[in-house]
Amino acid sequence: MLKVLASSWALFLGIGLLMIGNSLQGTLLGVRGTIEGFDPQTMGYVMSAYFVGFLGGSWFAPGLIRRVGYVRVFAALGSLISAAFIVYAVFVTPWAWAFMRLVVGFGFSGVYVVAESWLNNAASNENRGQTLSAYMMIQMLGIVIGQAVLNVADPGGYDLFILMSVVVSISFAPILLSASPAPLSDNTDRMSLGELFRASPLGCTGSFLMGGIFSAMFGMSAVYAGEIGLSLEKVSIFVSLMYITALFSQYPIGWISDRVDRRKVIALVMAVATLACAAGVLMSDNLLAIYAAAAILGGMANPTYSLLLAHTNDYLPVSKMAAASSGLVFINGVGASFGPIVVGYVMGAVGPDGFFAYCCVLCALIAAYALYRMSQRAAPVPEETGSYVPIATRSPVIVEAAAEIYATEIEEIEEEAGDEEVRAWVEDVEPEEPAR
């Protein structure tokens, strides 16, 4: 891990700064929206615009890169993001914010594709798993630092908007100065969404529902915290807890999932998240209970997408894994696009508790469906599946990189199994030594 960080520290530094600016953006808008008196339904539309833009960018960015190149796309989209952050403070209206969120989501989708392509290209087959793990840690750390930065200035003013614009602008320097051109992956083996659903109903359904949960956590958690009257410091703690716990839960959950039926693990972690969210609703007047609910929800939900990806790959041939990962990214993005809107309406109907109630329902649905799928077909043998790979973001490049790691492991397992079969066949047919 240290060797990976040492060899790609500039890329990681730039990506970490990007995450600080992006995470600060979401929380700051949630807090500022409360100050300006925007209701949860309105903020739901504002927050949802980011995920709509991100979904669109994930499809259009590769084409832009092929036409004009990595550096030009990176610079152009980075400029749009930096400018949009300033516009937030100039035009404090829901329509302006929603449009800027759309632009920022589109921009970050393309920026992630470029930065992660360079990072993936810098990794080798031997250290790609460690590189993705380091990347996940840097992203989570950036999100947490972004929440801490929220406390350095008044969210009702201009300073924080200017600061996050500067941070994002600075992030481009280490990335551009350290990166070399990287080819965009080109999957020749395609897979339709219908074929993907038939291969893994749980992977598709779970990815859609997880999109709704992720977007609620990333977009509406600060709105919830502001609605219940938490101070600025407590808002940043509340949001940070959702990602701090994910740093510590990814690996034990992944380790268990490599040894038992992954559907059992998915059902278990989602059941725990369901109970935590229910506690958040029932004990909403207790600050420690709310903190605990946020911590458990984040610690259980963040690894679940990686579990769903690994589970889907368990039922696919190696040639289909990269194409399937792209399909899951799209399905997850569609779910994320609707998440904040639904949360906003639920919070408008039942009050702030609607945030945890919404997450509770979605987590329960995933847990129940995982249990149902266990009754429909047998689980693959754990020894014949690849390892769980932790993923922080649902961008096409990183998810496909994780699929590559999984596919490589499956190929190695199949080769070893082939060697054993040949050895057994030789032993079975080896003629007995003639008697003397």
pLDDT of residue 427: 45
Sign of CA dihedral 202, 205, 208, 211: negative
Kindly list the averaged pLDDT for each block of 10 residues, start to end, along the chain of length 436. Answer: 66 86 90 92 93 84 78 85 93 94 90 75 65 78 90 90 92 76 52 85 94 91 92 92 88 85 93 96 94 95 86 79 76 90 94 95 97 87 63 58 61 60 44 44
pLDDT of residue 14: 84
Closest CA to 220 of 358, 331, 96: 358
CA count, 13 A, side-chain hemisphere, 171: 28
Name the packing angle between helices 287-313 and 354-374 (round to 10°).
30
In whole angstroms, what is the distance from residue 65 CA to residue 238 CA?
A: 38
CA 193 to centroid of chain Cα atoms: 20
Find where tokens 């590559």 sit.
Answer: 404
Pick 2-180+189-422's CATH classification: 3.40.50.150, 3.40.50.720, 1.20.1250.20, 3.20.20.70.
1.20.1250.20
Closest CA to 402 of 5, 128, 204: 128
pLDDT of residue 182: 53
In whole angstroms, what is the distance from residue 256 CA to residue 188 CA?
A: 33
pLDDT of residue 92: 92
pLDDT of residue 166: 93
pLDDT of residue 241: 93
Closest CA to 269 of 286, 288, 250: 250
Where do the domains of the chain lie?
Answer: 2-180+189-422
* Number of C-beta neighbours around residue 89 at 10 A: 16
pLDDT of residue 323: 72
pLDDT of residue 306: 83
Here the tokens at position 431 are: 């003629």
Q: Is 12 left (phi over 0), alpha (psi -120 to 50) or beta?
A: alpha
pLDDT of residue 260: 86
In whole angstroms, what is the distance from residue 135 CA to residue 5 CA?
A: 9
Closest CA to 334 of 221, 218, 196, 212: 212
pLDDT of residue 267: 96
Q: How long, in residues, is the chain? A: 436
In whole angstroms, what is the distance from residue 209 CA to residue 214 CA?
A: 9
